[in-house]
Homo-oligomer: A and B are copies of this chain.
Amino acid sequence: MKEDSRLAEIAALVGDPARANILTALLDGRALTAGELAYFAGVSPQTASGHLAKLTESRMLALHKQGRHRYYRLATPQVGRMIEGIMEVAIAAPERYRPASKVDPALRTARTCYDHFAGRLGVGLAEALGARGHLVLAEEAGEVTEAGIEFLSGFGLDLAEARRCRRAYCRPCLDWTERRPHLGGAIGAALAARCFALRWVERQRDSRALTITAAGRRGLDEVFGLRL
């Protein structure tokens, strides 16, 4: 019976709005300072400090000291997936606020989801690949077809490397603004990395939102037939 007091403990930590804000701000894998996180959380620095101490003590965040700054980041990918798992349930919860209309439009268009693309960009890529028979996404699993392997390799992805690493190779990830799956897993991460390398997309300061560059707009249309 005592077995899940730990469960409740962790969930309760995520269950405070300020801490939830902190965790989602870190969801894209970047490390942020205590001050930035206080701003994101909408609380005073001293309050945020307390929250950060708790999250670090529970091993959900990792701390890296640098000069007079303290950088916090998600301690493990599990933490990110846990948050996503809770979000999946949260979007199915009653629409006390209507779904996505209040969300920052930039965030709806394109953002990172831990290490891959989400928003209209992420969903669009997944559907473009699906429409051309390069990808099959089911509810809980996904598969890249032969044609897809050839296509993505041609686009510059190192699929052998992606296969090698110890994580889900190809995983659908339910998009909480679009309510349709986008592409996660090693393939999703590799695709995102390639787009960053090509400077098709760029991170925005203080946000998980992404900017699609002019080159990106052109490239996405030419290569994937995707217009946003």
User: Count of A residues near B, CB < 8 Å?
Assistant: 59
**Is A146 an interface position by the 8 A CB rule?**
no
**Is A83 an interface position by the 8 A CB rule?**
yes
Residue among A60, A82, A139, A171 with the highest chain B CB neighbour number at 10 A? A82
| A12-36 to B contact mask, C-beta < 8 Å, 1/0 | 1111110111001000000000000
Evaluate contact between B12 and A42: CB separation under 8 angstroms. no
Cα of A40 to Cα of B138 in the assembled complex, Å: 35
| A99 CB to nearest chain B CB (Å) | 10
**Copy number of this protein in the oligomer?**
2
Closest B-chain residue to A14, C-beta based? Answer: B11
Evaluate contact between A6 and B85: CB separation under 8 angstroms. no
Which of A73-81, A152-160, A191-199 lies on the face that meets chain B?
A73-81
Chain A interface (Cβ < 8 Å from any Cβ of B): 1-17, 19-21, 24, 40, 42, 57-60, 75-76, 78-79, 81-83, 85-94, 96-97, 102-103, 107, 138-141, 166-169, 171, 185
